[in-house]
Amino acid sequence: MSHDSSMLVIHFFLVYLCHFSWCLYDRTNLIAGVKIAANDDILVSASNAFSNFAVAIHPFRNAALNRSTHCNIRYGTNDQFVHSVAVIGNEKNSSTLDIVKFVFTAEKMSTMTPYVCIISISKSTCKSTLECNDVYTHGFPQEYFLIGVDRSEKYAYGFTSSFVFKLNIQTNEIVLNRMANDTWPSLHFIPRALDIADSWAVIVGYGYENSIEKDYNDLGCLIDLSELTKLSCLLLNAETTYIVPSDVVTFNELYEMSVSIRNQTILVGIHRFESVVVLEKNNTSLSIVNTHTVHFSHSSSFGRGVAWIDNRTFAVLTRTTTLQTCGSQSMIFIYDGALVTSTSALHTFPNNQQILGSRLSNPHFVRMTITPKGNMVVLTDHADILMIPTAPIGYTSVWIDTSALIYRFRYVPMPCIGGTYKNHSGIGPCRICPPRTQNPGISVKQESICVPCSNSFCPLGASADIDSSIVPSYNQAVDYPETDDTTDIEDILLQNVFYIGSEFRCMIISPLLWTLIVGILCSIIGLAMCLLKRDRYHGWRSYRNCAKLIFKHTDIIGEGELWVGGLATFAIVVLVAFSYWFSAAFIQRYPIERISESVLFACNPSLMNAKFSSSLQLLALPKSIDSQAIFNLLNQQKFQLTLELVNTGFMCRNIKAQENFVDSNFIHLSIECTRPASNATTSVSFQLPTHSSNVQINMSGPHWIGGFRLCIRGDGVVDGSSTLRSLDFCQFFSALNQTIGRKTLVSITFTKNINITRGLNPEDSTLYTGLWIPTFGSVKLTDDAYYAEFGNYLRYTSSLTIIQIVLDERPFFVKNVQEPIVRRAELIFHALLFTSLCIELFAFVFLLTKLLLMPFLRLIQNRWRQCYYRQKRSSTVDMSSSTSTQVTQTSRVVDSFEGSTAF
């Protein structure tokens, strides 16, 4: 083989080995190792894919005071794979505060040589210097190469499964470098996560003592940082299943762990068991205080990451599987350490106030860290960085520019929205105002508290003090009148003419009362006529005879023969006149639609010349030509839907409407939206496509709805004898002391209501009136039971509120028929019959007087005469004379009355 050929083979072999070694390093993997670190001075993230460090100096400082500085520091070589980073912050013991530092662990991919580096950065110029030290030369890649810095920021510590080291940051000198077996003798320990205090650290990972069985367990080890020796190790979980060694030795996200130290308390996250273990440091040992195992129906990795926020609260990173209401595959749950369950989270990130912008497409959070001052940094699987600063009282940190095409996103403290408050500083959202309190969200001083309400409608999350009377419910549905028991005109006449009510009004208009009054006057006149017959009134006899002649001419009872009958005729005339007045007024009280005043001629104020009937009929039945027109008008009526959102923060820009079809298809609807500045009410209007529609109003944003009023209106039309009434009804929905649920379904079923009014006269046409009558189904208004069952934090997770309205029509219609009790010709005939009845009644009275009363009076007269003559014999002459005179006078009066009533 020639020399050139040999060199070619050697070159090919070297290239092959180089590419083989580089294939062991996954540049895009952000989960393995620690690719992001931060404190309150500096934030650093490493990207092997772009060979770059992204640095933010003072990342959480208020931009108005001192805008944060962003630097990009290139690796300087492609033969570098960064495993982990740790930040130092301002250089200690330096004459200037212009320098910040961070350390990182890396490997030369070509030679698989691990090393550690310190980078110093100028805050003002972003210029950097690099100082590196090789720490091991064994020649194989490190799966886990962790680094951390103590709280005094003097030393950096590195841990792998092969070696450990201690680096003096100020002198850039490795002061201690030893094999892993010297730190974890006989454990074969594989570190997965670490956190460092001042003089001690806690490393969590997997280890075993029996090298033959290799029975790995979850371990937490307490390390003395002075000599990097193990003080003690603790079994974190009683493992009952065999762990496959290859899943532990090589990277496997399921076996990832996390750890966080706060004072003497340590959190360890083991998401393989969906657990967070709380440890306590006791001198040289660790003890388990509590183990929180939480199972979510929507989560598969509770405990993927843990971090203390303060002495009581901590954050747990969890990957979700189905709960993606906040646009993320991961969520960070914030807990009070006293209670950690699936429902006890204080809040989550993201939430409906702290959303993820459209730049991020359903990301997965791979790392999170919380600084000593409570600021939070999150790294996504696409190397995007979220910086969430602690917000003061009355504020929450929100993402402003949600569509910016960058990779580093800083949340900005903004005042609490209406209906919420925040009375403490922190990274969480504003809390919803309790019932009977409100916060308009227009004053920073008010955003830390919710003030009491004075008006009636002030539910949970109220942003205004609203009187519920301004949004009343109303509809046009009324009970169709029921027909009275009496529908015969003769019975109606008799009941109203021969009736005297107890009320003054009824007495004044009673025909019988006035007839009695006239009858009494006529009786007085008749008595006077009888007295004028006596001899002593002989001079008045001519007048009596003249009156007698007149009364005989008015006599309709005795056919002109009885003057007493003439007097009775006046009473008959009064009675009949009242009955004619009643009849003439009664016939005008039809139909009911034209009746606007109460009855003046009868005691019953609701008396009307109408009888009613109602029935249900199928729409599929054939219809007459005359009635088909009203059905056509009903079918052609356009519906206008108006939705008034009461006591809400949703603005017009947050609202859209759509019509839903089958298979999740929909089209957008054009809406008109208004929002007055004073009463926290937003009104949305649009035309419904059809009478059987499925429409949906989508409201996006972190707001709630106290209640809503749904109105549907339609214009009326008159077409000949058919009248389509204007549709106008509103229904107000609210839940006592609760907000409207995130998804509310309102079902409305319409029924055609047809009123048929027959003509008063035979030649009159039949009138048809149509109106849609709505019926509301049962509506579930609140999610309170859901929050009580699965956690109140869910109230803050959804950024979308939906009100879905489903309209349908019943297959039948209501047929109401109105027709007159009596028509004009029939009424005239009955009036004449009633007149004859009145005359016959009075004639019957005269007949009874002649046949019964007069014989009885004669009998009394005879008896009295007999008694008189007996007394005459035993009395004195004077008394006898006087009595004789009285008997004579009485006899004359009786004879006169008897003669006047003779037929």
| pLDDT attached to residue 12 | 41
| pLDDT attached to residue 532 | 67
On whether the CB atoms of residues 7 and 347 are closer than 8 A, the answer is no
What mean pLDDT is predicted for residues 706-712? 95
How confident is the model over 821-854, as pLDDT tens digits? 888 777 777 777 777 777 767 767 766 777 777 7
Give 96: exposed, middle or buried? Use CB within 10 Å, 0-12, 13-18, 19+. Answer: exposed
On whether the CB atoms of residues 743 and 804 are closer than 8 A, the answer is yes
Residue identified by tokens 């027709």 is 819
What mean pLDDT is predicted for residues 327-336? 89
- Least-confidence region, from 353-357, 503-507, 895-899: 895-899
Residues 738, 666 within the same domain: yes
On whether the CB atoms of residues 667 and 318 are closer than 8 A, the answer is no
| pLDDT attached to residue 230 | 92
442: tokens are 């227009």
Structural domain includes residue 600: yes
| Per-residue pLDDT at 876 exceeds 60 | no
User: What span, in angstroms and rounded, lies between the C-alpha atoms of 903 and 850?
Assistant: 8
| pLDDT attached to residue 656 | 96
- Overall residue count recorded for the chain in this entry: 903
Structural domain including 698 reads 614-819
How confident is the model over 237-251, as pLDDT tens digits? 876 667 777 888 888
- The 3-state secondary structure of 8-67, one letter per residue: HHHHHHHHHHHHHHHCCCCCCCCCCCECEEECCCEEEEEECCCCEEEEEECCCCCCCCCC
Residue 834 has a CB neighbour count (10 Å cut-off) of 21
Residues 869, 834 within the same domain: yes
Structural domain includes residue 713: yes
On whether the CB atoms of residues 431 and 420 are closer than 8 A, the answer is yes
| Per-residue pLDDT at 14 exceeds 50 | no
Query: Within the chain, what is the greatest distance between any pair of CA atoms?
Result: 195
Residues 569, 647 within the same domain: no
User: What span, in angstroms and rounded, lies between the C-alpha atoms of 617 and 133?
Assistant: 94
On whether the CB atoms of residues 77 and 98 are closer than 8 A, the answer is no
Last residue of a domain, one of 784, 819, 854: 819
- Least-confidence region, from 219-228, 576-585, 787-796: 576-585
Residues 712, 640 within the same domain: yes
Residues 791, 863 within the same domain: no
Give the confidence band of 539 by pLDDT, cuts at 50, 70, 90.
Answer: low
User: What span, in angstroms and rounded, lies between the C-alpha atoms of 178 and 188?
Assistant: 15
Residues 517, 637 within the same domain: no
| pLDDT attached to residue 159 | 94
What percent of the chain is predicted at pLDDT more than 90?
A: 45
Residues 735, 853 within the same domain: no
| Per-residue pLDDT at 698 exceeds 90 | yes
How confident is the model over 148-204, as pLDDT tens digits? 999 999 999 999 989 999 999 999 999 999 988 888 877 889 999 999 999 999 999
Last residue of a domain, one of 803, 819, 835: 819
| Per-residue pLDDT at 114 exceeds 70 | yes
Q: Is the Cα torsion angle 336, 339, 342, 344 positive or negative in sign? A: negative
What strand order describes the sheet that includes 217-224?
A: 190-196, 200-207, 217-224, 229-235
Structural domain includes residue 781: yes
Residues 762, 663 within the same domain: yes
User: What span, in angstroms and rounded, lies between the C-alpha atoms of 476 and 730?
Assistant: 10
Identify which of 101, 93, 102 has the alpha carbon closest to the alpha carbon of residue 34. Answer: 102
| Per-residue pLDDT at 629 exceeds 50 | yes
Structural domain includes residue 731: yes
On whether the CB atoms of residues 345 and 331 are closer than 8 A, the answer is no
Alpha-carbon distances of 90 from 58, 74, 95, 98, 733, rounded to whole Å: 10, 21, 11, 8, 58
| pLDDT attached to residue 562 | 66
How confident is the model over 262-293, as pLDDT tens digits? 999 999 999 888 899 999 999 999 999 999 99
| pLDDT attached to residue 878 | 52
What mean pLDDT is predicted for residues 29-44? 90
* Structural domain total, the chain: 2
The average confidence (pLDDT) of the chain is 83
How confident is the model over 42-63, as pLDDT tens digits? 999 999 999 999 999 988 876 5
Residues 802, 855 within the same domain: no
Give the confidence band of 561 by pLDDT, cuts at 50, 70, 90.
Answer: low
Give the confidence band of 351 by pLDDT, cuts at 50, 70, 90.
Answer: very high
Beta strands in 350-441 (DSSP E): 365-370, 376-380, 385-388, 395-398, 408-410, 412-415, 420-421, 431-432, 437-438
Structural domain includes residue 366: no
Strand 81-90 to strand 163-168: parallel, antiparallel, or no bridges (unpaired)? unpaired
| pLDDT attached to residue 325 | 57
How confident is the model over 726-763, as pLDDT tens digits? 999 999 999 988 999 999 999 999 999 999 998 888 78
Residues 804, 835 within the same domain: no
Structural domain includes residue 763: yes
User: What span, in angstroms and rounded, lies between the C-alpha atoms of 748 and 396?
Assistant: 40
Residue 560 vs residue 152, higher pLDDT:
152
On whether the CB atoms of residues 235 and 291 are closer than 8 A, the answer is no
Give the best-scoring range by mean pLDDT among 299-313, 399-413, 599-613, 825-839. 299-313
Residues 717, 856 within the same domain: no
User: What span, in angstroms and rounded, lies between the C-alpha atoms of 186 and 221?
Assistant: 14
User: What span, in angstroms and rounded, lies between the C-alpha atoms of 417 and 430?
Assistant: 8
What mean pLDDT is predicted for residues 119-138? 89
| pLDDT attached to residue 16 | 39
| Per-residue pLDDT at 96 exceeds 60 | no
| pLDDT attached to residue 556 | 65
What percent of the chain is predicted at pLDDT more than 70?
A: 84
| pLDDT attached to residue 660 | 94
What mean pLDDT is predicted for residues 557-574? 68
How confident is the model over 636-672, as pLDDT tens digits? 999 999 999 999 999 999 999 999 998 889 999 999 9
Last residue of a domain, one of 779, 804, 819: 819
User: What span, in angstroms and rounded, lies between the C-alpha atoms of 547 and 537?
Assistant: 15
What mean pLDDT is predicted for residues 204-233? 88
Structural domain includes residue 864: yes
Q: Amino acid letter at 110? A: S
Residue identified by tokens 């009937």 is 613
Residues 809, 710 within the same domain: yes
How confident is the model over 387-440, as pLDDT tens digits? 999 999 999 999 887 666 678 888 999 999 999 999 999 999 999 999 999 988
Structural domain includes residue 311: no
| pLDDT attached to residue 181 | 85
| pLDDT attached to residue 280 | 96
What mean pLDDT is predicted for residues 357-364? 83
